[in-house]
Structure 1
């Protein structure tokens, strides 16, 4: 009698993955997030405050000021002479300090930086230059351009 072979099913060469459970989990997550999320509120519920007027397209531009120290020690602010008092330090130029303070407040009010051009004559008094720099420092103006100095080599 011959030997009988047991029936063996053919082996599949292509393995398969049952994704039905993955689809179930994906739908459960979708339902969970749909239920737990909040819907966007209506636009009528939002409190919006509109500006009362149209903002100015061209904001006020402030020009930099020019301070000139002459050879005789005189100080000019945008071509206007500034009187010099007998005090010490920044107190020697109280009017200059007051004008610089007004200029700084204007610059801060327009969200711009206060800019000063300081021109000193080489023959001018060094103390006057220091007085002007002290006045600038007392009102916290930091953007200062210094011009008018000669090179020592020339």
Structure 2
């Protein structure tokens, strides 16, 4: 019976030792502190909050307007129309009137901070040489945003 009491006594002693252990908790706390110290350096602080308030805008914070859209039509006879207005003759390869009009439009758009978008609409049987003439006029006016369409119903 004394052995039985000794076994019971050993169990009581072991159960007392199996209670809450503080030493591992201190290690866990130090690991958590180390994590937060390392992550604190990675936090980005915003120095400026960009907002647009209603009211009068100045030229520096002006939002860009919608781009100016121009439609240049080339028909089978070589006639060039810009926004339904005829320019130059079909025999004139340099298209000086068209070039000057587009250059003025580009300058006006640049002064307003806008872009010029040009759409070239050609008839299905339009000559490639005339299309190149119009593209040369656009290049002389320093127009870079150009799109093409072929075979519109207007011709």
1:84-103 matches, cutoff 5 A? 84=89, 88=93, 91=94, 93-103=95-105
Aligned to 1:106: 108
State the alpha-carbon separation in 2 of the partners of residues 103 and 145 from structure 1. Answer: 17
| TM-score, scaled relative to structure 2 | 0.53
Offset from partner CA, 1:31-51 (integer Å, 9 cap, x none)? xxxxxxxxxxxxxxxxxxxxx
Aligned to 2:128: 126
SS at match of 1:123: coil
Aligned to 2:77: 72
State the alpha-carbon separation in 2 of the partners of residues 77 and 123 from structure 1. Answer: 19
Aligned to 1:141: 143
Q: How far did 1:149 drift?
A: 5.5
Q: How far did 1:84 drift?
A: 2.2
| Greater Cα offset, 106-115 or 78-87 | 78-87
* Equivalent residues, number: 95
Q: Which runs of 5+ in 1 are unaligned?
A: 1-53
RMSD: 2.6
Offset from partner CA, 1:4-54 (integer Å, 9 cap, x none)? xxxxxxxxxxxxxxxxxxxxxxxxxxxxxxxxxxxxxxxxxxxxxxxxxx4
Sort the Cα spacing of 1:140 and 1:58 in 2 relative to 1 into closer, same or farther, 3 A. closer
Runs of 4+ in 1 over 4 A off after TM superposition: 56-62, 85-88
- Structure that is richer in helix per residue: 2
Offset from partner CA, 1:105-154 (integer Å, 9 cap, x none)? 0111111111101111121121110100000011110000111169xxxx
Offset from partner CA, 1:36-94 (integer Å, 9 cap, x none)? xxxxxxxxxxxxxxxxxx43788764530000001111100000011227554xx2x11
Pick from 70, 85, 88 the counterpart of residue 83 of structure 1.
88
